[in-house]
Amino acid sequence: MSVAALPPLTLGLGPSLALAAPGDEPKATATKAAILPLAVEGDEMPDADRAQLTERLVEGLRRGDFDVIAPDEVLSQAPDAASCRDAACYTAIAAATGATHVVRAVVDAQDRDYEVEVLLVSGSNGVQVATSTDSCQICGVVEVGDLIDAAAATLRTKLDTLNQGPARLVVDSTPPGARVSIDGEIKGTTPFDEEVLAGEHVLRVSLEGYIAVEREVNFVEGIADTQSFTLEKVPSRLPPRPWGWVSLGLGIASLGFAGTYAALDDRQYRLFDKCPTPDEDDQCPELWDTEWYVLGGAIVGGGLVTLGVAILLNSARRRSTNKVKVEGSGEATSARSRRPRFGVGPGSVTIQGRF
């Protein structure tokens, strides 16, 4: 008689007993909640009632998609867990049990009036993440258990969300390389893919030479929010580059015209070295009066030359790459224009930039 060899079975202990076949990998759970023993304030509560409320809290949390460490197991690894009240104690219990979060339930009993508070605390820093508070008047342990169930459901939803991971923002833009800011703080450049804080925030995407775009976005934990932007160019206030050369040429010609007439001013009025109406001494009594020609030519020439230079310099592409320190994402590069900016207005010319 021979006996066939059977593959070994692995026992998995959790809320229920399960048999895992060979090759099945247990599902890794990132979130683990350590439940502290139920704290009762005010009137004394029988041990049976305390155990019943504790069981309802544990069972309520075990319905979530995360691991739960029952109070008895927590006490075995951290004997002071029943008296835990501060952040240092919460973090110590989390470290001892390997939990990511700590749950503490407090029942305040005054005669037959009860108030139930259930806290969810981060195991990394002891900061409160969520809370649920409810009360009932002239009620018994069954009604208090219902309050515990409701509080467990609230915390279970929060823990399920945390188990999915943090909120994430993905931003792409056309053209790429745009600067991404959240609530006024620079985070990086597109294409952008980083973890962000959950909640409502103002997202801004900007690129030099393009119109900046802002959006109000609500980031949700465990969800990657993808935002796409098509940026439009800022309308140019100056003509294209060829007009710069035209304006420069006309300006130089106007200045030459003004200079020529400036040289003739107050000289004898002669045409082709001949005086149209000479006097008795063969002198020209009339003189050149060219002040207005000089003034007009100088104004027109100066304006055209300035406009031409402004157009040519404004169209030149001279950029340098500067480092921008981005919190949480190292260093990102950002292009900053070094070209000066020109503006021409009525009776004024402005130059702005780095020289």
Q: Which of 191, 197, 202 is nearest to 219 (CA)?
A: 197
198 lies in some domain: yes
Check residue 117 and give its pLDDT.
Answer: 93
Q: Hey, how many other C-beta atoms are within 10 angstroms of the C-beta on 184?
A: 7
Residues in a beta bridge with 344? 349
- On whether the CB atoms of residues 93 and 103 are closer than 8 A, the answer is no
Q: Give the domain-ending residue among 114, 142, 163.
A: 163
Considering its fold, how many domains does the chain have in total?
3
Residue 264 shares a structural domain with residue 347: yes
Task: Return the pLDDT at 271.
Answer: 63
Coil, helix or strand at residue 176: coil
Mark which of 110, 130, 163 sits at the end of a domain. 163
Percent of the chain with pLDDT over 90: 33
Residue 272 has pLDDT above 80, yes or no: no
Question: Confidence class of residue 341 from pLDDT cuts 50, 70 and 90?
Answer: low
Mean pLDDT value across residues 315-323: 46
Instruction: Assess whether 121 and 181 both reside in one domain.
Output: no
Average pLDDT estimate for 183-187: 92
Confidence of residue 273 (pLDDT cuts 50, 70, 90): low
Q: Does residue 76 form part of some domain? A: yes
**DSSP sequence for 256-295:** HHHHHHHHHTTSB--BTTB-SS--TTS----B---HHHHH
Which tokens go with 32? 């683990």
* Cα(328)–Cα(337) distance, integer angstroms: 26
**pLDDT tier, 281 (very low <50, low <70, confident <90, very high otherwise):** low
Q: In 3-state terms, what secondary structure has residue 190?
A: coil
Tell me, yes or no, whether 33 and 144 share the same domain.
Answer: yes
Residue at 143: amino acid letter = E
User: Same domain, yes or no, for 40 and 110?
Assistant: yes
Give the pLDDT confidence score for residue 322 in this predicted structure: 38
At 51, which CATH number? 3.40.50.10070
138, 53: one domain: yes
Domain assignment of residue 20, yes or no: no
Same domain, 45 and 89: yes
pLDDT interval class at 189 (50, 70, 90): very high
Instruction: List, for residues 251-263, the tens digit of each pLDDT value.
Output: 898 888 888 878 7
- 10, pLDDT greater than 60: no
Q: State whether 57 and 147 are in the same domain.
A: yes
Helices (H) and strands (E) in the chain, counts: 6, 19
pLDDT at 325: 38
**Residue finishing a domain among 210, 230, 250:** 230
When pLDDT is averaged across residues 13-37 and rounded to a whole number, the result is: 56
Tell me what pLDDT residue 223 has: 78
- The pair of structure tokens assigned to 128 is 């409160």
Residue 338: pLDDT above 60? no
- Give the largest Cα separation in the chain, rounded: 156
Residue 22 maps to a domain: no
45 and 156 assigned to the same domain = yes
* Position with higher pLDDT, 289 vs 15: 289
Domain with residue 176: its CATH number is 2.60.40.1120
**pLDDT digit string, tens, across residues 223-236:** 788 999 999 988 76
Determine the pLDDT at residue 149: 92
Is 290 inside a domain boundary? yes
For residues 105 and 41, state if they share a domain.
yes
- From CA 64, how far away is CA 160, in angstroms rounded? 6
Please say whether the beta carbons of 81 and 72 come within 8 A: no
Question: Which residue range forms the structural domain that includes residue 155?
Answer: 29-163
Quick: pLDDT tens for 39-93.
999 888 899 999 999 999 999 999 988 899 999 999 999 998 888 989 999 999 9
Whether residue 286 is found in the same domain as residue 252 = yes
My answer on whether 157 and 51 are in the same domain is yes
**In this structure, are 65 and 152 located in the same domain?**
yes
Residue 252 lies in a domain: yes
Question: Is 11 inside a domain boundary?
Answer: no
Q: How far is CA 41 from CA 111, 116, 236, in A?
A: 11, 10, 72
Asked if residue 14 is part of any domain, the answer here is no
**Structure confidence at residue 37 (pLDDT):** 93
Q: Pairing state of beta strands 39-42 and 101-110?
A: parallel
Average pLDDT, the chain: 78
Residue 329 Cα distances to 187, 208, 252, 325, 326, angstroms: 7, 22, 53, 8, 6
pTM of whole model > 0.85? no
Mean pLDDT over residues 264-278, rounded? 67
Question: Per this entry, what is the length of the chain?
Answer: 355
